[in-house]
Amino acid sequence: MRYVLEGSVQRDGNRVRVNAQLIDAETGSHLWAERFEEDVADLFKLQDQVVARLANALGYELVKAEANKGAHSTNPDAIDLTMRGWALLNVGGRDRAQYQQARDLFEHALELESQNAEAMVGIALIDTRAFAYGGAAHPDPTLAGQLDFVSKALAINPNYSFGYFMKSFALFMAFRFPEAVEAARTGTTVDPNSAFSYFAKGEAEWPLGRCEETIADLKEAFRLSPRDPGSGVWHMNLGLGELCRGRVDAAAEEFRRAIDGGFRSYLPYVNLAAAAALLGNDAEATTALAEARRLSPQLTIKWFVAHSPSMPIELEGFRKAGMPEE
């Protein structure tokens, strides 16, 4: 594998523009291009910001490029399989067929290399996402299996920052919010440029009533990775942070952005229904709730409270939107 990162720097008054592009040196094809603009008041801060954003953006592109090559290999090894699995997950959607394809790739990788931490975390992520976003019942609401897989992965590679995100996510879905915050905080210590770790920390804070911390952490995640494939989920949690601090109109806008960003789980729709109902937008609330229940037919207030972290203001909105109690 050989890639070349090319760039140019331009200055306009107090602004600096950095143009960057990633090129496959073997074929000459352009894989990715991005432009960054920042103020020049603090050049060291500017350098850190550009490097961090490049690192997050290029991480996705390099995985995708190598996965595309590995997909044509007649004898892919564990690394190829793992990259191909992550390329499927990095698309940003929540397609069950893609999940199954990715899981098959990770399982095959583990057959070839039992100590593959990245494949372990990939399987844990797929299973936890299916539990969190798919609306399906799960035989173990403590998510013990996923947490065990992640713990083994982090024992193999304690510097794998995404592993701490995954640990935080599973703890969050198991309603273990303080532990989820600590796992995410460890991820930011291991890698201060890990946008996912800041997202995980923010996600775990709104159930604890730390509304402002949620907003700050999620904004940091967006600063580090402005075009992240997972931005739909990030917008939804920004909406929950806004709802946490009583800004229902801002929350509704974030839920709409989550849907527009490709997050098509029942969660952004049901939260939009709650926010719209609280704002008196009955038509939007009815439409959003209908779509949420189409995506998750078992959706009731009783089921939601048992299955997903929630806030009293959410439940008030659900009832106003017309969600059945059970």
Partners of 9 in the β-ladder: 18
- Binning pLDDT at 50, 70 and 90, where does residue 218 land? very high
User: How far is it, in rounded angstroms, from Cα 49 to Cα 45?
Assistant: 6
Q: What is the DSSP letter of 31?
A: E
- What's the burial of 107, exposed, middle or buried (CB within 10 Å: 0-12/13-18/19+)? middle
Other Cβ atoms within 10 Å of 12 Cβ, number? 9
- Binning pLDDT at 50, 70 and 90, where does residue 65 land? very low
Q: What is the DSSP letter of 159?
A: T
Asked if residue 116 and residue 151 are part of one domain, the reply reads: yes
Please report where in the chains the tokens 């291009």 appear, as a residue: 33
Two tokens, residue 280? 């008196």
Q: Is the pLDDT of residue 200 over 70?
A: yes
Lowest mean pLDDT among 35-44, 151-160, 305-314: 35-44
User: Residue 6 corresponds to which amino acid?
Assistant: E
Q: Please state the pTM of the whole predicted model.
A: 0.76
Asked if residue 80 and residue 64 are part of one domain, the reply reads: no
Other Cβ atoms within 10 Å of 301 Cβ, number? 16
Mean pLDDT, residues 43-69 taken together: 55
Q: Is the pLDDT of residue 230 over 90?
A: no
pLDDT, residue 75, reads 37
**284-303 residue pLDDT tens:** 999 999 999 999 999 999 99
DSSP per-residue string spanning 233-302: HHHHHHHHHHHHTT-HHHHHHHHHHHHHTT--SHHHHHHHHHHHHHHT-HHHHHHHHHHHHHH-TT--HH
Q: Is the pLDDT of residue 63 over 50?
A: no
Cα–Cα–Cα angle for 227, 233, 237, rounded to 5 degrees: 115
Q: Give the end of a domain, one of 114, 143, 158.
A: 158
CATH number at residue 254: 1.25.40.10
Count: domains in the chain: 3
Asked if residue 306 and residue 261 are part of one domain, the reply reads: yes
| 270: in domain | yes
User: How far is it, in rounded angstroms, from Cα 157 to Cα 118?
Assistant: 9
Containing 192, the helix (H) or strand (E) segment is: none
pLDDT, residue 299, reads 93
pLDDT, residue 72, reads 38
CATH number at residue 124: 1.25.40
- Binning pLDDT at 50, 70 and 90, where does residue 225 land? confident
**92-126 residue pLDDT tens:** 556 778 888 899 999 999 999 888 898 999 999 98
Q: Is the pLDDT of residue 8 over 70?
A: no
Q: Which residue has the higher pLDDT, 50 or 220?
A: 220
Asked if residue 281 and residue 313 are part of one domain, the reply reads: yes
Asked if residue 319 and residue 249 are part of one domain, the reply reads: yes
The residue segments making up the domain with residue 154 are 76-158
Mean pLDDT, residues 199-225 taken together: 95
Asked if residue 323 and residue 238 are part of one domain, the reply reads: yes
What is the Cα Rg of the chain in Å? 20
For the ranges 13-27, 85-99, 183-197, the one whose mean pLDDT is highest: 183-197
Give phi and psi for 81, each to the nearest 5.
-60, -45
Give phi and psi for 292, each to the nearest 5.
-60, -40
Asked if residue 322 and residue 235 are part of one domain, the reply reads: yes
CA 233 to chain centre: 6
User: How far is it, in rounded angstroms, from Cα 233 to Cα 245?
Assistant: 19
Q: Which residue has the higher pLDDT, 62 or 241?
A: 241
pLDDT, residue 96, reads 76
Q: Give the end of a domain, one of 70, 95, 114.
A: 70
Q: Is the pLDDT of residue 25 over 70?
A: no
CA 277 to chain centre: 27
Mean pLDDT, residues 245-269 taken together: 94
Asked if residue 80 and residue 65 are part of one domain, the reply reads: no
Two tokens, residue 6? 């090319």
Asked if residue 7 and residue 35 are part of one domain, the reply reads: yes
Cβ contact 130:136 at 8 Å: yes
Please report where in the chains the tokens 């090894």 appear, as a residue: 77
pLDDT, residue 53, reads 59
pLDDT, residue 67, reads 42
